[in-house]
Chain A
Amino acid sequence: VLTARAMANAYGFPGFEYVSIAHPVASLTSVQISVLVRDLLPDLLRILGASGME
């Protein structure tokens, strides 16, 4: 999360919004990845200004 904020600052967008997920990722199965994505989707849609479309 600190790194995401630092990258946003480096590009001049200090308020840039992002979503975060827990490690590990590389060793997950496809099903486990799908669960992760489903959980973060509402936040993602909110940031993109598309809430209510899920």
Chain B
Amino acid sequence: VFVEDADSVRAAMEYYADQGWTDGLPVVPVTESYLAEFLASVDRDPGDVLLDMPQLNRSLTVRLAAINAALAGCLPLYFPVVVAAWESLALEGYPVRGIWQSTTGTAPFLIVNGPVRERIGLNSGGNVFGSGFRANATIGRAIRLGVLNAFGLRPHELDQATQGTPAKYTFCIGENEEESPWPGLHVDFGLSSGDSAVTAVVIRSCVHIEARHTRVPEQLAIDIAGTISRTGALIHETISAAVVLSPEHARLFSAAGWSKDDIRSFLYSHAVVSWSKLAAAGKEAVSSRTRWRLPSDHPDALPVAASGGMVRVLNSPEAVLVVVAGAGNSGVSAVVETFGPRGGAAPVTRIQL
């Protein structure tokens, strides 16, 4: 490395930072020739619109997605995954409806399935939510930089997030299909195991579950259900979740004969909170207008049919996605609190390789 080259690179990075084309971390300078490598990796017209936000009068094209992927530090090899991630976000629906201008402060969570994981070195094993892997770090960041630079959804401006989430920097994982006892998420939604796919869901928090103590599937599922049903997560009448099981927990369920659908059904039935606990938090009623939770003496509150008993926080088994990721070395899993789906299919999107 020549010192004068390093100085030029640093000057370019500072210029980009001065323009505001960053999430706060340094970005990679992009030339037309480097951009061409990204565009050559997909069979798409650079002018194709991947995501449109009519409320902002702005659209993200393939070319803009490529510029931001390069800025984020992606290799051109990763770009087909980035394109599919944008398509999945368009299908998911919340970003198009303005969720990234909201005070809630959500981030996209990308789940990658299929052979592409190995091809690009995407981590699906130990430290899967953590740092240390270029593909995970930069594919998630490519989306975030597109949100900032193409849509202008910057904090303190169009992005009104009260606190946001660290997941906004990047939140991209591979499913650990090799250590999962079940078919991958993409197969659950109609693709073949040889396909590669991205599923993008809008999320608020990622909550860990420590459950190293049991071999009983019902006990483990109750522990997960208890995490899903915390009152603090309930802004709407119900919530949804992506349950990310470690391979050890997945095998525990599978060895007892549970399928992923069995887990979803059990969680639907057991993710409940007592009416009195909801009332103590002032969330026992639902608004007639927004379906947001509020106290029963609020003027917008729908009449509460019955007090007492238990209240379900999921509207259907389909409000839960089950994914396997992480190392097979302990009984630790996570609930990723999603904004959807609450019924219907997940936005699984095939990657065109």
Contacts and interface: CB of A to CB of B under 8 A. Distances in A.
Interface of A: 2-3, 6-7, 10-12, 26, 29-30
Most buried by B among A2, A3, A6, A11: A6
B46 to A, nearest CB: 23
B158 interface: yes
A2 B156 contact: yes
A11 B58 CA distance: 10
A10 B299 contact: no
Interface residues of B, number: 12
B152 A6 contact: yes
A10 B56 contact: yes
Nearest to A30: B299
Interface of B: 56-58, 101, 152, 156-158, 160, 292, 294, 299
A9 B292 CA distance: 31
A3 B152 CA distance: 11
B180 to A, nearest CB: 42
Contacts of A11: 57
A23 B63 CA distance: 40
Given A7-B56, A7-B158, A10-B158, 18 more contacts: A2-B156, A3-B101, A3-B157, A3-B158, A3-B160, A6-B152, A6-B157, A6-B158, A10-B56, A10-B57, A10-B58, A10-B152, A11-B57, A12-B57, A26-B292, A26-B294, A29-B299, A30-B299
A6 B153 CA distance: 10
Contacts of A12: 57
A2 B152 CA distance: 13
A26 to B, nearest CB: 8
A29 B156 CA distance: 28
Contacts of B101: 3
A7 B101 CA distance: 10
Contacts of B294: 26
22 contacts: A2-B156, A2-B157, A3-B101, A3-B157, A3-B158, A3-B160, A6-B152, A6-B157, A6-B158, A7-B56, A7-B158, A10-B56, A10-B57, A10-B58, A10-B152, A10-B158, A11-B57, A12-B57, A26-B292, A26-B294, A29-B299, A30-B299
